[in-house]
Amino acid sequence: MHGICDDAVPWQTSLALGERLESRNAVVILLKYGDHRPSSESDLARLGRNFGRTRMRVAVIKSIFLCGVLTLLAHLGRGEASAQDTGAEEASRRAMAIAQLPPDAAQVLFGRESTPAAGPPQAIGSYERGCLSGAIALRADGPNWQVMRPSRNRAWGHPVLIAFLERLAQKLPGEAGWPGLLVGDIAQPRGGPMLTGHGSHQIGLDVDIWLTPMPNRRLSPAERDGISATDVVAGEGMDIDPTVCTPQHRLLLEAVAREPLVERVFVNAAIKRALCREGGPERAWMAKIRPWWGHNYHFHVRLSCPSGSRQCRGQTPPPPGDGCGKELDWWFTEEARHPRPSPRKPLRLGNLPPACAALVAAPTGQALQLRGAAQ
């Protein structure tokens, strides 16, 4: 139960908590005029009707509810975002991240840039430590694609990636029976580390594509910021949900992996397991399909460094084989299913290639603190 007039914790936090609870009995109640401490007689009576009649049970439920909110806030405070966060949830996470990070953190400097850097297109550095100049934005609407979560302003990429997406979207209806792409995050206008979410997506060569087919109508901006993609993995995470995951999903992933420019395609381990089980005799393309945590609502496409991008640092090619043996089995072990959380440290410009410092300005009244080669 959350008051919409709460000035300390956004009411969208409770919606996010409700979405993450697996119980079918979870109920989210929004009090239109409630504040941070809903304690009026009517509010307490509503708690009593929903959770029990006695004062003790009300007190217990209030304590449990508060612990749940605080637990989620601790999670949000680390800046960890889900690709399915709504526009309001993303704004809340960004505000928390900015409040906790030092003002000269690379996440803050790149996260506040709203326009691309002028100059020739260059992917600078590696996928997880880099930046981007000369970026262009994928148009919000195309014949076979729609950009999702537009309020994030993360539809910027290297021109090679943008051209690839436009070409791919046009081919998929015929090759895979896939009507069109719902495109998630690509990169920020100047690439670089993000305030929330991704550790990669920094040089304009990564893109998230939803596992939801594009509908036969144009979604409104509010819908694009609010609706969720399709989860194709069963609740326990050990296999796909056969009522949701269709043959077209396999054809989609195969068509993308066969593209020569594609370096890797990251999917949930359960999706990789299903591909291994259902793949045909020609399986070379499956080497590019790599399991990774999450990725049950979308898959992540990574392109190789474009020719002429001398400052782009590519990735070691995937190991030979189809990736369906022991390396896949590890993803279903206790170690992989419940990894120890590791707090993400703030990145400084000195952690990025020297050329990245020229793409962002220092906070007002401060000089950029560069280290090592960046000096």
Query: Parallel, antiparallel, or unpaired: how do β-strands 145-147 and 141-142 relate?
Result: antiparallel
User: How many C-alpha atoms does 227 have within 13 Å on its Cβ side?
Assistant: 16
Confidence (pLDDT) at 207: 98
Phi-psi region of 197 (alpha: psi -120 to 50; beta: other; left: phi over 0): left
**Ordered structural domains, the chain, with CATH:** 2-76 (no CATH), 98-350 (3.30.1380.10)
Contacts with 86 (C-beta within 8 Å, 6 or more apart), sequence order: 12, 15, 16, 225, 226
Determine the Cα–Cα distance for residues 207 and 201; give it in Å rounded to an integer.
Answer: 7
Confidence (pLDDT) at 166: 98
pLDDT in tens, the chain (375 residues): 887 666 446 666 676 677 667 676 788 888 865 666 665 666 666 666 665 544 444 444 444 444 444 344 434 333 445 677 888 898 899 899 999 999 999 999 999 999 999 999 999 999 999 999 999 999 999 999 999 999 999 999 999 999 999 999 999 999 999 999 999 999 999 999 999 989 999 999 999 999 999 999 999 999 999 999 999 999 889 999 999 999 999 999 999 999 999 999 999 999 999 999 987 788 999 999 999 999 999 999 999 999 989 999 999 999 999 999 999 999 999 999 998 887 778 899 999 999 999 999 755 444 344 433 333
The position carrying tokens 């189809």 is: 322
Closest CA to 156 of 116, 111, 127: 116
How far is Cα of residue 179 from the mean position of the Cα atoms in its chain? 23
Question: Residue 192 gets which letter from DSSP?
Answer: S
Cα→Cα distances 61→55, 98, 140, Å:
10, 32, 44
Confidence (pLDDT) at 45: 67
Question: Residue 77 gets which letter from DSSP?
Answer: H
Give bridge partners of residue 133 from the DSSP assignment. Answer: 122
Determine the Cα–Cα distance for residues 362 and 369; give it in Å rounded to an integer.
Answer: 9
Question: Residue 233 gets which letter from DSSP?
Answer: B
User: How many C-alpha atoms does 113 have within 13 Å on its Cβ side?
Assistant: 28
Give the tokens for residue 18: 């409700």
**3-class DSSP state of 128:** coil
Confidence (pLDDT) at 210: 98
Closest CA to 217 of 182, 245, 177, 167: 182
Confidence (pLDDT) at 62: 47
User: How many C-alpha atoms does 238 have within 13 Å on its Cβ side?
Assistant: 3
**Packing angle, helices 55-77 and 41-51, rounded to 10:** 90
Confidence (pLDDT) at 61: 43
Determine the Cα–Cα distance for residues 302 and 300; give it in Å rounded to an integer.
Answer: 7
**Contacts of the segment 223-230: beta carbons below 8 A, 24+ positions apart:** 224/146, 224/147, 224/148, 224/149, 224/150, 225/86, 225/87, 225/88, 225/149, 225/150, 225/151, 226/86, 226/87, 228/19, 228/84, 228/297, 229/83, 229/84, 229/148, 229/182, 229/184, 229/297, 229/298, 230/297
